[in-house]
Amino acid sequence: MKKILFTLLTLITLSWGLQAQQIDQCTVDPVFQDTLPGVYPFPYDADLNPNGGITDTACLNEFFQFVFTLVVSDTIEISNTQIPIDSIVFDTESAIANLPQGMDYACNPPTCVFPKNTQGCVVIYGKATNTADIGDHELTFSGFLFSPFTPQGAPLQFPNPDLAPGNYTLSVAEQGSASCTIWTDINEPLSQIESFRNLPNPFSGTTTLEIITKEAGEYTFTLTDLMGRQVARRKLSLVQGLNHWTFDATDLKPGMYIYTLSDGHSRVSRRMIVE
């Protein structure tokens, strides 16, 4: 089992592009926060884990997402040997093979570096747009384990029949299929926002959010740390055009944070660095 957890940890490091047209973050599932190290859910295996794998089905031309939660420890046992872990690292563009056209992935933290004794998450998201992709997609993940024994990183691939039997199968069904999982919450990019940034960035003390909107409205600003924990929330009434709002971060610890603007149906996110 520990070998399975080891491989799972190393292969779900996925990239996170913080762009307005993408999902910008995922949140660690609190159900798994106190669990043993590993990636949840485990891969599907008819005998060992019949309830595992990607349990939702994507529908052609409909938004879809699936989140993996990572719990990283400081050691892992391989061949009865305890090996210390420094970090688990994934490529930012090609960690997942065989995704359907129109789908991508992102990770939290956005660096795709998961240090020891931390938790994180990975989200597969998007709209499958090619009818040729209807059917099952066996996803494979690749990443690197960094430790004092492997300072250059040890490559790993998952699933692996010797370390983690099973599979992660992403199924794509025809549009309107009863088997599809349709997401209707905050997932789409916030199209009425033309520009969203904070200046200066990095900063200490306060920063000014500059928001250019196509239309006036009520919005919610939230700030989360890289573990997905919400540390600030504000209601904003924005006018059409240019808006400025000063955010006070004097009570925050130095580090990187993700800030999000939502109208209740869609959102856009960026990152700020507090010095």
Domain extents for the chain?
Answer: 2-173, 188-274
Q: Give the model's pLDDT for residue 154.
A: 83
Q: Give the model's pLDDT for residue 190.
A: 64
Q: Which two tokens stand for residue 249?
A: 């971060």
Q: Which two tokens stand for residue 245?
A: 């709002």
* Residue 190 vs residues 60, 76, 211, 242: alpha-carbon distances, Å: 22, 41, 12, 16
* Residue 19 vs residues 16, 192, 266: alpha-carbon distances, Å: 9, 15, 14
Rounded to whole angstroms, the Cα distance separating 156 from 9 reads 10
Q: Is 112 left (phi over 0), alpha (psi -120 to 50) or beta?
A: left
Q: Which two tokens stand for residue 204?
A: 């200490």
Query: Do residues 69 and 34 make contact, with C-beta atoms less than 8 angstroms apart?
Result: no
Distance, C-alpha 261 to centroid of its chain:
17
Query: Do residues 156 and 7 make contact, with C-beta atoms less than 8 angstroms apart?
Result: yes
Query: Do residues 219 and 261 make contact, with C-beta atoms less than 8 angstroms apart?
Result: yes
Question: What amino acid is encoded at 111 in this protein?
Answer: T
Rounded to whole angstroms, the Cα distance separating 22 from 39 reads 23
pLDDT tens track of the chain, all 275 residues?
434 333 333 333 333 333 333 444 677 776 666 667 777 888 888 888 787 888 889 989 888 888 888 888 888 776 677 888 888 888 767 888 899 999 988 888 777 788 888 888 888 888 899 999 999 999 988 888 888 888 878 887 777 776 667 899 999 999 888 777 655 444 445 678 888 889 998 899 999 999 999 989 999 998 887 656 788 999 999 999 999 999 999 999 888 788 888 887 677 778 788 98
Beta strand residue intervals within 161-240, DSSP E: 168-173, 188-189, 193-199, 206-213, 217-224, 230-238
First CA to last CA distance, the chain? 41
Which helix or strand (DSSP H or E) is residue 6 part of? Answer: helix 2-11
Q: Which CATH class is domain 188-274?
A: mainly beta
Rounded to whole angstroms, the Cα distance separating 155 from 90 reads 10
For residue 234, which phi and psi values (nearest 5 degrees)? -140, 150
Q: Which two tokens stand for residue 238?
A: 């924005």
